């Protein structure tokens, strides 16, 4: 059974710092991995999707990497801002197909201090 772990559960950093959020998974047979952002009281917003054949994806100040063999993904946030404060979740889709269930980590709650 696939398990997705995100440690630590919470992180507080000063504004301007570059930071890395980690996601690990136990079964490397994945179709893709997706990073989400969730603001308090809101739904999940998709940030980046990495296919199993890709090593990384970039969007603005965000860069996500994937190392399937080691079961790890990282979300790099450059020059963090208070507006980046939110919970960040990763989710993996199994290799059984595009039409299959996501497994989520419990998320990392990020606080960026002004």
Binding site for another protein (CB under 8 A): 31-32, 34, 36, 41-46, 49, 89, 91, 93, 98-102, 104-107
Tell me which DSSP letter residue 68 carries.
T
For residue 11, the minimal CB distance to another protein (Å) is 17
Is the CB of 5 or the CB of 70 nearer to another protein? 5
72-77 and 4-5 as β-strands: parallel, antiparallel, unpaired? unpaired
For residue 79, the minimal CB distance to another protein (Å) is 26
For residue 17, the minimal CB distance to another protein (Å) is 26
For residue 46, the minimal CB distance to another protein (Å) is 6
Is the CB of 32 or the CB of 65 nearer to another protein? 32
Is the CB of 21 or the CB of 80 nearer to another protein? 21
Is the CB of 18 or the CB of 59 nearer to another protein? 59
Closest CA to 22 of 6, 41, 4, 3: 6
Angstrom distance (rounded) from CA 63 to CA 80: 13
Q: Output the CA torsion sign for 102, 37, 110, 68.
A: positive
Beta bridge partners of 35: 48, 90
Closest CA to 112 of 76, 91, 83, 71: 83
């Amino acid at each position: 059974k696939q398990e997705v772990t995100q440690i630590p559960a919470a992180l507080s950093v000063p504004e301007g710092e570059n930071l890395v959020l980690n996601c690990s998974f136990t079964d490397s047979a994945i179709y893709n991995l997706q990073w989400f952002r969730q603001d308090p009281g809101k739904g999940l917003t998709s940030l980046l999707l990495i296919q199993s054949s890709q090593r990384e994806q970039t969007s603005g100040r965000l860069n996500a990497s994937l190392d399937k063999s080691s079961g790890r993904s990282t979300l790099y946030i450059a020059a963090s801002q208070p507006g980046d404060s939110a919970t960040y979740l990763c989710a993996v889709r199994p290799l059984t197909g595009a039409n299959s269930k996501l497994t989520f980590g419990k998320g990392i709650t990020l606080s960026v201090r002004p």
